[in-house]
Structure 1
Amino acid sequence: MTIPLPTLRQLRFLVTLADEGNFSRAAEICHVTQPTLSAAIKELEATLGVTLVERGARGATLTPAGEAALDRARSTLAEAEDLVQAARAAGEPLCGPFRLGVIPTIAPFLLPKLLPLLSNAHPKLKLYLREDLTDRLLEGLRSRNLDAALIALPYEAAGIEAISVGSDEFLFAAAPDHPLAQKATISASDLSNEKLLMLEDGHCLRDHALAVCTAAASRSDFAATSLHTLAQMVKSGLGATLLPRLAVEGGVTDGLGLVVKPFTPAIVGREIGIAWRRGSAREAEAKLIAKTLDGLV
């Protein structure tokens, strides 16, 4: 005996209704009329033999059975999307939509070089970009809201795989009148008594800088939200900082008159990598993007 199965359309309606909590808004998002969406939900309830939605004057609320069905519906829709993407990638990789996340300390300096290369090599690619902190990008990978993410390594995260595309060196940056700006060479040990400016908590670059000089950085009394702000604060004489070479070459210190110099020996601050959800159908395409990045970092 064949068991009646819900359709993907019905499951999508259920997920949208759960997200919006309102039949009218859910119908608008799904590009159907409200009666059409309502009828589809009733058909789904009849197929499953349970009430999924409590309908009220203030909107729609899922029943316990509806909440249980919602989790499976999201998973089923995600698997169906993976099937479509895997089939497309097998026929022509990086064709159609691809959702790429990038951390803020990489995005403005690497994307201007990467995007033209991707566009030329894969003209049918429709790239959707999201700039955010690492934790939220990784959650986006796990929830299948992102296909891949450019992040800084090392970064341990369950269910996530990544490969390195290059190393990013730390450079010392200070105003011209800073004592260390006068030195011919500078080493990590020179920072032991310095007040270093850092990015605010949540930026992985802060963690990488702290790993280089924990004692000095812990005394910083200013936390910037971006590398551009950080460079401006250094210009104002609030202290020195460590900047990734990628950002310096991308122009973050241009026109500020700062003294920027490498360490001796060089300090590799981080690895730039591309990450994806383990088992994702977009893994091969993420690795293609990694190849495109070869030589850019």
Structure 2
Amino acid sequence: MNLSSISLRDLEYVVAIAELGSFVKAAERCHVAQPSLSVQISKLEARLGTVIFERTTRRVIVTQKGRVLIEQMRKVLLEAQDLVVLATRSKRPFGGSLRLSAISTLGPYYFPQILQGLRANYADLSLVLGEGKTGDLVSALVGGGLDAVLIAAPVADPALAHVPLFREPLVMACPSGHAAASKAAVGWKGLASHERLLLEEGHCLRDHAIAACADVDPSARHATSLETLKYMVAAGEGCTLIPALAVRPFNGLEYVPLHQAQYARTIVLAWRLSDPRDDEFRALATYLQELSPEGIDMASTPQQRKRASGGDKRPLKKI
């Protein structure tokens, strides 16, 4: 087969259709007329001698062989993106642009603390920041839609490299005057299962909350965000776990420190192993370690451990 008859643009069309489940939506994403896209897909299927999509009046279905081909097409497109990065890479860090996203239980509280420092240290860098759930971020990263992500360990995908940045304590948020806030209380584990409020499925903080106490009821009331959880707690609905960086004064809510090791999460910077900018990501990770975000009260990075041991006299920042 003559490879010149297959273009990267054709592969982009196929992947877009597979992801969106629609020729019309794929055409909009790829900025091409829908009839033209359909013609190109038909030509590609003819060249490959394979039907990639079943067309019905209601939806588009990927064939069994089509799924295998689409997975390979994603790899080809990702390699092509890396080729462009290598070819156009300038002296500016990350080629001048970095698409960085964080899990939604971290981004709104962490980004404001590091943004000024990042702009000062990477003056020529255009930052595109975002947030989302862990699974969505990892999928976007592996697929080339993002350059790097800030997520909680562990990182299970073998296609990703990562470096730990800091260890963030979790605290318990209770309604003001709640028995769990007293010194005699036994904390998160001492609550009745129905009193433990969780985030909805897909948030890694939900998994941390369940892992920290075996009898958490996974079907318990849940919220879509940390701020919604705070409102539920303040209304007397129950208690929840909140990351230290998200701790803010809140009417009707009281925070209780939890000192056991399981009440913490490790935040890492992750990027694709195949990305040719590995050295730049590692330099960025080192810089982020040095920023020492407010709300972290434990020696969790090499720099913070040095301070705690007396090698650095700057005080650790407290909750």
Structure 1 residue 119 corresponds to structure 2 residue 116: no
Match of 1:271 among 259, 266, 289: 266
1:267 deviation in Å?
A: 5.4
Letter matched to residue 223 of structure 2: A
Structure 1 residues 76 and 261: alpha-carbon distance in aligned structure 2, compared to 1, 3 A threshold: same
1:24 Cα deviation after fit = 11
- Paired residue for 1:15? 12
Unaligned 5+ runs, structure 2: 297-319
1:178-197 equivalences in 2 (<5 Å): 178-183=178-183, 188=187, 191-194=189-192, 195-197=195-197
Kept after mapping to 1: 8 A contact 2:92/2:125 = no
Distance 1:273 1:225 in 2: 23
1:281 and 2:280 are equivalent in the alignment: no
SS at match of 1:162: strand
Higher strand proportion: 1
Aligned counterpart, 2:231: 232
**2:190 partner letter:** S
Distance across 2 between alignment mates of 1:44 and 1:156 = 35
Question: 1:102·1:130 contact (CA, 8 Å) conserved in 2?
Answer: yes
State the partner residue of 1:256. 251
SS at match of 1:141: helix
Matched, 1:152 2:152: yes
Count of residue correspondences: 284
Q: Deviations over 1:123-151 (max 9, x none)?
A: 33233333221112112222222221110
Equivalence for 2:300 = none
Q: What SS class does the counterpart of residue 171 from structure 1 fall into?
A: strand
Matched, 1:99 2:99: yes
The CA distance in 2 between the partners of 1:108 and 1:96, in whole Å, is: 24
Distance 1:13 1:174, change over 3 A: same
Distance 1:53 1:176, change over 3 A: closer
> Given that residues 235 and 252 in structure 2 are in contact (C-alpha distance below 8 angstroms), is that contact kept between their aligned partners in structure 1?
no
Q: Which has the larger radius of gyration?
A: 1
Instruction: Compare relative contact order (CA 8 Å, sep 6+) and give the higher one, 1 or 2.
Output: 1
- How much has 1:87 moved relative to structure 2? 4.8
Q: 1:63 to 1:176 in 2, by over 3 A?
A: closer
Cα separation, 2, equivalents of 1:43 and 1:124: 43
Paired position in structure 1 for 2:212: 212
CA distance in 2 between partners of 1:221 and 1:289 (Å) = 39
C-alpha contact (below 8 Å) 2:269/2:285 kept by paired residues:
yes
How many Å apart are 1:247 and its aligned residue? 0.9
Deviations 1:94-115 (A, max 9, x none): 3333222211101110111222
Cα pair 1:169 1:245 within 8 Å, conserved: yes
Q: Is the 8 A contact 2:170 2:263 kept in 1?
A: yes
Per-residue Cα deviation, 1:168-226 (whole angstroms, up to 9, x for no partner) = 1111221222113232x7655x73244222212221111112222222x3387311111
Deviations 1:35-93 (A, max 9, x none): 998998899899x6869899x9x9x9999998876555443332121122245557332
Aligned to 1:222: 221
Q: Which amino acid aligns with 1:274?
A: L
Secondary structure of 2:170's counterpart equals strand
Gap regions ≥5 residues in structure 1: none
Match of 2:288 among 279, 287, 293: 293
Provide the C-alpha distance between the structure 1 equivalents of 2:33 and 2:228, rounded to a whole number of angstroms: 48
Distance 1:37 1:234, change over 3 A: closer
Q: CA RMSD in A?
A: 4.0
Contact 1:163 1:275 in 2 (8 A): yes
Note if contact 1:169-1:268 (Cα within 8 Å) is conserved in structure 2: yes
Rounded Cα–Cα distance in structure 1 between residues aligned with 2:246 and 2:83: 38
Q: 1:45 and 1:119, CA in 2 relative to 1: closer, same or farther beyond 3 A?
A: same
Return the TM-score normalized by structure 2: 0.71
Query: Separation in 2 of the partners of 1:196 and 1:25?
Result: 42
